[in-house]
Amino acid sequence: MTNEHGSAESVRLSVRGLAKRFGSIAAIEDVSLDLHQGEVRALCGGNGAGKSTLVKILTGVLAPSEGTLDVDGRRCNFRNPIDAQRAGLTLVAQELSLAPDLSVHDNLWLGHASAPFVRRTAKSAVMAREALDAVGLESTGLDVKARDLALAERQLLEIARGLVRNASVLILDEPTATLSEREIDKVFDAVRQLKARKCSVIYITHRMGEVYDLCDSVTVMRNGRVVATQPVAEMPRDRLLELMIGRELTDVYPPATRQPGEVMLDVSDLHVPKTIEGFDIQLRAGEIVGVVGQIGSGATESIRALAGLVHNARGDVTVGGRKLRLGMPAAVLKSGVRFVSEDRASEGVFLDMSARTNLVAARLDEVSSKGLLPAGRLGRIASLLAQQVGFDPSRLHLAAGRLSGGNQQKLAIGRCSDRQIPGVILMNEPTRGVDMGARAEIYQTLRRLCDDGNAVLLASTDLEEVVGLVDRVVTMFRGRIVGVHERGEFTETAILSEITNAQEAA
């Protein structure tokens, strides 16, 4: 394969016929691709497509069952991650791996295959400084503790660590999943710096906009195989999504089908000390409202406060005309307000419990009889909830921890759905870490819930999602609302302007 990055001689990474089998199960099969010097390649696919297995082979965690892997024309057989690192392949994982109590300098050398015994040498300091400068951390001191860095700075530090390791191929796995738009720009700038230095990048993301804003080419995997590799400029968005999910999808963002009804949630002067001030909103039946702001703006904090999870929240809040007691999650749930957390692992689902148990966990009083949980009734209610959110009922017996991020999110949403008693659904980052196909299914589920009379209030940092999905957007800056706009009145650019420069927006 040749492209604008050069001839076949410029190929940095070449894999041919890679396969990995676990017994009779093929995780990937016949995977081939070429990555050129200075190329940024998006790697897309739904959960279970084989991306993680491919990355584990490229980084020496797994050995392939079949196939070859060449780096800069040299045949490689990685026995472990150290071999891969020495060959120039480095992974920046989705979960940050920094040691918070160590300095920036020490974190850069942590895990380096050739780290000197005495790391704080003049040479190591020069290399560390050059790596930090290359990713936009020019003002960050080497002696600063990692815990004192902002989230985006920690992500950039992980990327800089790859440069210290002399990475010629850097694999970035969802590097912007927890970042605001402004922080995402910093990561993009760092990737472009790497590209200018002829470093090749494999960029794994579930955000379609990032594929088109940053990447040169895209490889799509489905069911363990590569189904397409094309320049991004030649890949229409609809076609990319169809390749990922294996079928035509007409509406990623389904339109509203009903007019907003009665006021279900009325918030006046919501206040959280040093976080939120004067937050006012009315949420009506049948509508989806998005709250948008940078990290620390108060957007996600306002959702958590309304869910009863902030003990010192104050304000005049009513649900269906009845006063809501803030700071008391049980009282909030009883009032008909349900919450879906952005942190699935810690707050969203019980990973060790079955999907069936997860779906009925918030309504055990409805299922139980004399202190017992009748299996038949539990199964019927769980199956009904599963159907409402598009979860395959045949998988209800599986532990939630064995499911994809998209299916875990469906469980969290399903727990909140109740067609007989509509309510208010609060959500933070509704599709974080969810593949594009599952995102579309979640959007459709939210619309169905609204059609049934529910109302959804969500906070999201994915502006493409906000513009495509919500009926009304509320922008926040430093704890205050700076704008409220109806559908058709807002764009990504306008939202970004308000949440980053509220003075001008006002």
Check residue 244 and give its pLDDT. 85
Check residue 8 and give its pLDDT. 58
Q: What is the pLDDT of residues 212-234, one digit of tens each?
A: 999 999 999 998 999 999 999 99
Check residue 285 and give its pLDDT. 95
Check residue 503 and give its pLDDT. 47
CA separation (Å) from 326 to 303, 305, 372, 455?
12, 7, 32, 19
- CB atoms < 10 A from the CB of 15, how many? 21
Query: Strand 74-75 relative to strand 472-477: parallel, antiparallel, unpaired?
Result: unpaired
* Burial tier of 363 (Cβ tally within 10 Å: 0-12, 13-18, 19+): middle
Instruction: Please list, residue by residue across 296-318, b when 16 or more beta carbons sit within 10 angstroms of its beta carbon and e when fewer do.
Output: bbbbbbbbbbbbbbbeebebebb
Across the strands, what pairs with 173?
204
Alpha helices in 325-374 (DSSP H): 329-334, 355-360, 364-367
Sorted by where each starts, the structural domains of the chain and their CATH numbers stand as 8-245 (3.40.50.300), 263-350+420-505 (3.40.50.300)
For residue 73, give both structure tokens.
């024309």
* Burial tier of 356 (Cβ tally within 10 Å: 0-12, 13-18, 19+): buried
Residue 279 CA to residue 209 CA, distance in Å, equals 30
327 HSE (CA, 13 A, CB side)? 9
Q: What is the pLDDT of residues 33-51, one digit of tens each?
A: 999 999 999 999 877 789 9
Quick one: what percent of the chain has pLDDT higher than 90?
A: 50
Chain centroid offset of residue 491 CA: 21
Mean pLDDT of all residues in 121-134: 86
CB contact at 8 A, 92 and 162: yes
Beta strands in 137-241 (DSSP E): 169-173, 200-204, 217-222, 225-231
Residue 333 CA to residue 331 CA, distance in Å, equals 5
**Across the chain, what does the average pLDDT equal?**
88
Check residue 228 and give its pLDDT. 95
Report whether pLDDT(502) > 60.
no
Quick one: what percent of the chain has pLDDT higher than 70?
A: 94
Q: What is the pLDDT of residues 292-322, one digit of tens each?
A: 998 788 999 999 999 999 999 999 999 999 9
Helix, strand or coil for residue 337?
A: strand
Q: What is the pLDDT of residues 99-126, one digit of tens each?
A: 999 999 999 988 887 665 555 678 888 9
Confidence category of residue 506, pLDDT binned at 50, 70, 90: very low
User: Tokens 């584990």, residue?
Assistant: 56
Report whether pLDDT(504) > 50.
no
Query: Strand 200-204 relative to strand 40-44: parallel, antiparallel, unpaired?
Result: parallel
Helix, strand or coil for residue 327?
A: coil
Mean pLDDT of all residues in 61-87: 94
Report whether pLDDT(392) > 50.
yes
Confidence category of residue 167, pLDDT binned at 50, 70, 90: confident
- Strands of the 74-75 sheet, one edge to the other: 25-36, 11-22, 66-71, 74-75
Q: What is the pLDDT of residues 419-438, one digit of tens each?
A: 667 899 999 999 887 877 78
Residue 485 CA to residue 462 CA, distance in Å, equals 17
pTM beyond 0.85: the answer is no
Confidence category of residue 1, pLDDT binned at 50, 70, 90: very low
Across the strands, what pairs with 44?
220
Q: Which of 112, 207, 106 is CA-nearest to residue 163? A: 112
Report whether pLDDT(137) > 90.
no
When mean pLDDT is compared across 73-77, 169-173, 363-367, the lowest value belongs to 363-367
Chain centroid offset of residue 42 CA: 15
Residue 399 CA to residue 46 CA, distance in Å, equals 20
When mean pLDDT is compared across 106-110, 370-374, 379-383, the lowest value belongs to 370-374
HEC letters along 2-54: CECCECHHHEEEEEEEEEEEECCEEEEEEEEEEEECCCEEEEECCCCCCHHHH
Check residue 505 and give its pLDDT. 42
Confidence category of residue 2, pLDDT binned at 50, 70, 90: very low
Mean pLDDT of all residues in 50-70: 94
Comparison of pLDDT for 131 and 363, the residue scoring more: 131
Check residue 419 and give its pLDDT. 60
